[in-house]
Structure 1
């Protein structure tokens, strides 16, 4: 790869991450902090994201959560322990492989997920409503392209192991 192209890709990726964090993640956490939802007040900064991940797939292995949020095994274990103690999640053995543990949301966790999901949808509509329809389609197409390329890279790297 051309070094100038590689440099440009790295800089655009960095700017994308910064803007995404500023426009979506920071704003999302501000909305959560400002909400009057007492259950949300029990959560630390990373826990709402973990609840969103679990809620979107219903059951998930802790190692998969760790991959998604970039946490090591011990930090993730402490977080899941904390969420379990607070009544947001439950652990159960995978019926297909008793060595594996699956994490799912409790009723309290589901309520929290519903609230977070609603806030996330409202915020996305608000932010994405600031651009024209064609820009939104271009953005969607760009994200699809980014994901396709990143999946190829991930697959190629996994095959090297």
Structure 2
């Protein structure tokens, strides 16, 4: 008896079976919009958006130091990244400085105020995420995260 094979090359959608509201893209986009709206509301007192939060947390954690690194990590095009950095700089939350080694490179650092805002985020964001994930038990949460990461793989 032959061993079962994995269906690696199966098409999950066809032109005949595809409907917008039943697509994974629709569900992911709707979930993203819902989460962004809830996060934006919770960040209102800090005067930042969810996308700006991602920049501050990435910089605070030492994950990124340049606009290019931020763009790549957060999946934001460089034009939008520049506009978001302009806003954060105007709010006094970050500073830009040209690299001494390579003048083409711009290094980013959080200001004292930026550090203060970034320190508040771990007290705000988990409340929103936990609220959205309240119907998941631990194993469902782990599986959900595993599947999302699998979906994001190239």
TM-score higher than 0.5:
yes
Aligned residues of 2:52 and 2:84 also touching (Cα < 8 A): yes
Q: Which secondary structure does the structure 2 equivalent of 1:70 belong to?
A: coil
More helix by share: 1
After superposition, what is the alpha-carbon deviation per residue over 1:26-63, rounded to whole angstroms, capped at 9, x for unaligned? 11111122x4xxxx23x467433332333233542113
After superposition, what is the alpha-carbon deviation per residue over 1:84-114, rounded to whole angstroms, capped at 9, x for unaligned? 2321001123355332111121111011112
1:15 aligns with 2:27: yes
Gaps of 5+ in 1: 153-161
- Kindly report the root-mean-square deviation, in angstroms, between the aligned alpha carbons of the 2 structures: 2.9
Q: Which moved more, 1:103-112 or 1:83-92?
A: 83-92
Paired residues, number: 140
Aligned residues of 1:89 and 1:109 also touching (Cα < 8 A): yes
More strand by share: 1
Aligned residues of 1:90 and 1:105 also touching (Cα < 8 A): yes
How far 1:25 sits from its partner (Å)? 1.5
1:76 aligns with 2:81: yes
- Tell me the residue number matched to 1:114: 119
How far 1:2 sits from its partner (Å)? 6.2
Structure 1 length as normaliser, TM-score?
A: 0.68
How far 1:127 sits from its partner (Å)? 2.5
Structure 1 residues 59 and 129, CA, compared in 2 at 3 Å: closer, same or farther? same
Q: Which secondary structure does the structure 1 equivalent of 2:103 belong to?
A: strand
- Tell me the residue number matched to 1:30: 41
Q: In 2, Cα distance between the equivalents of 1:124 and 1:32? A: 13
Aligned residues of 2:43 and 2:49 also touching (Cα < 8 A): no
Structure 2 length as normaliser, TM-score?
A: 0.71
After superposition, what is the alpha-carbon deviation per residue over 1:113-158, rounded to whole angstroms, capped at 9, x for unaligned? 12123211222223323212221121022123123x2xx2xxxxxx
Structure 1 residues 3 and 94, CA, compared in 2 at 3 Å: closer, same or farther? same
- Tell me the residue number matched to 2:13: 5
Q: In 2, Cα distance between the equivalents of 1:16 and 1:101? A: 33
Larger Rg: 2
